[in-house]
Structure 1
Amino acid sequence: MRRRGRPVTAALAAALLALPAVACGGDSGTGSEGNAFTVGLLLPSRSVPRWEHSDRPLIEAQIKRLCPKCTFVYANAENDATRQQQQMISMITKGAGVLILDAADTRALRSSIQEARKAGVPVVAYDRLAEGPVSGFVGFDALQVGRLQGQGLLDGMEKRADGRNVVMMNGDPTSPNAAWYRKGALSVVRDRVRIARSYETQDWSTQVAHANMSAAIAALGPYGIDGVLAANDTIAAGVISALKSAGVSRLPPVTGQDADLDAVRRILKGEQYMTVYKPFREEAAAAASMAVALGRGDDARDHAPTTVDSPTTRAIPAVLLTPHSVTAADIGRTLVKDGVYTVDRICVPPVRAACERVGLSP
Structure 2
Amino acid sequence: MRRGILTIAAVGLLATSGLAACGEESGGEGGTEAKPKIGVILPDSASSDRWETADRKYLEAAFQAAGVDSIIQNAQNDKAQFQTIADQMMTQGVTVLMIVNLDSGTGKAVLDKAKTQGVLTIDYDRLTLGGSAEYYVSFDNEAVGRLQGEGLVKCLTDKGVQKPVVAELNGSETDNNATLFKNGYDSVLKPKYDANEYVKGPDQWVPGWDNTQAGTIFEQMMTQQNGKIDGVLAANDGLGNAVISILKKNKLNGKVPVTGQDATLQGLQNILAGDQCMTVYKAIKQEADAAAELAIALAKGEKKEAPTTVKDPEGNRDVPAVLLEPKAIYKENVKDVVADGFISKDELCTGAFAAACTEAGVS
Relative to the length of structure 1, the TM-score reads 0.90
How has the CA–CA distance of structure 1 residues 323 and 356 changed in structure 2, closer, same or farther, with 3 Å as cutoff? same
- The residue identity in structure 1 corresponding to 2:333 is D
Q: Give 1:34 deviation, angstroms.
A: 1.4
1:326 maps onto 2:329 in alignment? yes
Q: Partner of 1:358 in structure 2? A: 360
Contact 2:11–2:322 under 8 Å retained in 1: no
Equivalent pair of 2:96/2:295 in contact (CA under 8 Å): yes
Match of 1:148 in 2: 147
Distance 1:88 1:327 in 2: 39
Deviation per CA, 1:139-182, whole angstroms, max 9, x where unpaired? 01111000000000000000112241000000011100101101
- 1:299–1:20 CA distance, 2 compared to 1 (3 A): closer
Give 3-state SS (helix, strand or coil) of 2:105's partner: coil
Aligned length: 344
Using the TM superposition, give the Cα deviation of residue 198 of structure 1 relative to its aligned residue in structure 2, in angstroms.
0.6
**2:144, 2:340 → 1: CA distance?**
19
Query: Could you tell me how far apart the structure 2 residues matched to 1:26 and 1:253 are?
Result: 56
Q: Are 1:138 and 2:134 matched, yes or no?
A: no
Q: Which of 221, 235, 240 pairs up with 2:226?
A: 221
Partner amino acid, structure 1, of 2:324: L
Question: Which piece of structure 1 moves more, 187-196 or 321-330?
Answer: 187-196
For residues 91 and 324 of structure 1, do their structure 2 counterparts lie closer, same or farther at Cα, with a shift above 3 Å needed?
Answer: same
SS at match of 1:109: helix
**Are residues 1:175 and 2:178 paired?**
no
Taking the aligned partners of 2:143 and 2:232, their CA distance within structure 1 comes to 18
For 2:39, what is the secondary structure of its paired residue? Answer: strand
State, as a whole percentage, how many aligned pairs show the same letter: 34
SS at match of 2:128: coil
SS at match of 1:40: strand
Name stretches of at least 5 consecutive residues in structure 2 with no aligned partner: 193-197
Shift in alpha-carbon separation, 1:12–1:60, aligned structure 2, 3 A = same
Letter in 1 for 2:132: P
User: Aligned match of 1:294 in 294, 298, 311?
Assistant: 298
- Distance of 1:232 and 1:126 partners within structure 2: 18
**SS at 1:75 equivalent:** strand
Match for 1:260 among 242, 264, 267?
A: 264
CA distance in 2, matches of 1:345, 1:19: 35
Alignment equivalent of 2:337, drawn from 335, 338, 346: 335
Identify which of 308, 326, 331 aligns with 2:310. 308
Change (3 A) 1:354 1:298: same
- Within 5 Å, give how 1:9-48 maps onto structure 2: 9-10=6-7, 12-13=9-10, 22-24=21-23, 34=33, 36-47=35-46, 48=48
- Counterpart-to-counterpart distance in 2, 1:339 and 1:232: 20
What CA distance in whole angstroms lies between the structure 2 residues aligned with 1:9 and 1:234? 25
Q: Distance in 2 between matches of 1:109 and 1:254?
A: 32
Deviation of 1:245 after TM superposition, in Å, equals 1.7
Kept in 2, the 8 Å contact 1:209–1:239? The answer is: yes
Contact 1:157/1:253 (CA < 8 Å) preserved in 2? yes
TM-score w.r.t. the length of structure 2 is 0.90
Match of 1:5 in 2: none
Residue aligning to 1:121: 119
- Counterpart of 1:191 in 2: which secondary structure? helix
- Aligned residue for 1:186, secondary structure, equals helix
The aligned amino acid for 2:206 is T
**1:267-314 superposed Cα distances (whole Å, 9 cap, x missing partner):** 00100000000101100100100000011111142xx11111222151
User: Is 1:241 matched up with 2:231?
Assistant: no
Distance in 1 of aligned mates of 2:204 and 2:167 = 8
Pairing 1:46-195 to 2, within 5 Å after superposition: 46-47=45-46, 48-66=48-66, 68=67, 70-131=68-129, 132-163=131-162, 164-192=164-192, 193-195=198-200
Contact 2:99 2:107 in 1 (8 A): no
Q: CA 1:338–1:307 in 2, change beyond 3 Å: closer, same or farther?
A: same
- Aligned mates of 1:180, 1:145 — CA distance in 2: 8
Where does residue 202 of structure 1 map in the other structure?
Answer: 207
Shift of 1:242: 1.1
Q: Deviations over 1:94-152 (max 9, x none)?
A: 21110111111122221221111111111110000113110111101111000000000
Instruction: Give the aligned partner of residue 320 of structure 2.
Output: 317
**Shift in alpha-carbon separation, 1:35–1:13, aligned structure 2, 3 A:** farther
- Does residue 1:281 correspond to 2:280, yes or no? no
Contact 1:157 1:227 in 2 (8 A): yes
Segment drifting more, 33-42 vs 157-166: 33-42
2: CA distance between counterparts of 1:76 and 1:317?
25
Conserved? CA contact 1:25–1:296, under 8 Å: no
C-alpha deviations, 1:46-89, integer Å up to 9, x for none? Answer: 111000000001001101112x1x22112111112221112112
> What is the one-letter code of the residue matched to 2:96?
V
Match of 1:34, as an amino acid? E
